[in-house]
């Protein structure tokens, strides 16, 4: 953890949405937090869930290359586009985390280094649940260059257990400010994910992923996971974590982002 810790503990601000929310709202809140940290040096930590199966597309992805829209309609699966890069993720029965920060003295001015630090804090949180996870060492070339879903393979510095991806993350950075968010499946929904993504004929259709319940060998729910991860972040970064309550003005900004951007088909489908 090195010399980035201050002698006096810094304060981070925490949002936990225990009631699952619509994907457009979820993405709008994350962008709102990213905008907030651009105005002053601070850090937000957020945990949330999704009210129905929802696919999120990475910022640069072309919808038709990675997703079967007709199957999504038939299965009642929502579609949103993230402000972060990365690959397609199916959000369903999971814990999603987000870190928005402009505190380069805690993290780093580098995308790669801040990504690794967040991953190490998550690993410490997972240890609280009795899991020994580690950072993946390298990104497979066919995964890096192709249109496979996020949970096909662990990429470098993503979190894996026994060679299978447990957490898939993506980051957006502007200068020293970044947003990183990621999906932590409680249960395995690979059968639905495989239905939604175009069939492949190169033998790369299998998904190297594992859910928390598979890794633990028991049922686990949102609150237990979040408590462990908050503890991991607090210890790893040596910070005090205090609840943040959204004001009416905050909510108005989020509603505007939800309506004008994340609910806009031009944004979602890159029209």
pLDDT tens track for 69-80 = 999 999 999 999
- Across the chain, what does the average pLDDT equal? 88
Q: How many CA atoms lie within 13 A of 168 on its CB side?
A: 30
Is 90 exceeded by the pLDDT of residue 130? yes
Task: Give burial (CB, 10 Å; 0-12/13-18/19+) of 70.
Answer: exposed
How does pLDDT run across 177-228, given as a tens digit for each residue? 999 999 999 999 888 888 888 765 444 456 788 999 999 999 999 999 999 9
- Set 72, 88, 148, 150: catalytic member: 150
Q: Report the percent of the chain where pLDDT is more than 70.
A: 87
Q: How many CA atoms lie within 13 A of 210 on its CB side?
A: 18
Q: Alpha-carbon dihedral of residues 192, 197, 203, 207, nearest 10 degrees? A: -50
**CA atoms of 50 and 73, how far apart (whole Å):** 17
Mean pLDDT on 221-246: 97
Per the CB < 8 A criterion, the answer to whether 115 and 209 are in contact is: no
Q: How many CA atoms lie within 13 A of 245 on its CB side?
A: 2
pTM given for the model? 0.89
**Nearest of 1, 24, 22, 170 to residue 89 by alpha carbon:** 170
Three-class secondary structure assignment of 86-140: CCCEEECCEEEEEEEECCCCCCCCCHHHHHHHHHHHHHHHHHHCCCCCEECCCCC
Per the CB < 8 A criterion, the answer to whether 182 and 96 are in contact is: yes
* Whether 72 is catalytic: no
pLDDT of residue 124: 97
* pLDDT tier for residue 7 given thresholds of 50, 70 and 90: low
Least confident of 56-60, 86-90, 144-148: 144-148
Q: Report the percent of the chain where pLDDT is more than 90.
A: 70
């Amino acid at each position: 953890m090195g010399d980035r810790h201050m002698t006096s503990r810094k304060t981070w601000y925490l949002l936990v949405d225990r009631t699952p929310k619509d994907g457009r709202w979820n993405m709008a809140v994350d962008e709102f937090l990213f905008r907030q940290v651009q105005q002053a040096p601070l850090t937000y930590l957020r945990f949330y869930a999704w009210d129905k199966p929802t696919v999120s597309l990475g910022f640069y992805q072309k919808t038709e290359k990675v997703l079967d829209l007709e199957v999504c309609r038939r299965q009642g699966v929502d579609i949103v586009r993230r402000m972060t890069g990365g690959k397609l993720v199916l959000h369903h029965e999971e814990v999603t985390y987000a870190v928005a920060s402009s505190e380069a003295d805690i993290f780093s001015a580098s995308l790669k280094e801040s990504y690794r630090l967040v991953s190490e804090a998550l690993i410490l949180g997972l240890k609280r649940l009795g899991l020994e996870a580690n950072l993946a060492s390298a990104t497979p070339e066919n995964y890096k260059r192709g249109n496979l879903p996020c949970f096909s393979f662990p990429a470098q510095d993503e979190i894996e257990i026994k060679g299978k991806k447990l957490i898939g993350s993506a980051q957006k950075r502007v200068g020293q400010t970044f947003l990183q968010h990621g999906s932590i499946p409680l249960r395995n929904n690979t059968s639905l994910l495989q239905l939604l993504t175009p069939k492949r004929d190169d033998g790369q259709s299998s998904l190297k992923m594992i859910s928390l319940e598979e890794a633990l060998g028991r049922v686990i729910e949102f609150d237990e996971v979040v408590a462990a991860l908050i503890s991991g972040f607090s210890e790893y970064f040596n910070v005090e974590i205090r609840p943040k309550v959204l004001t009416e003005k905050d909510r108005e900004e989020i509603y505007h982002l939800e309506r004008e951007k994340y609910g806009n088909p031009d944004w979602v489908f890159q029209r």
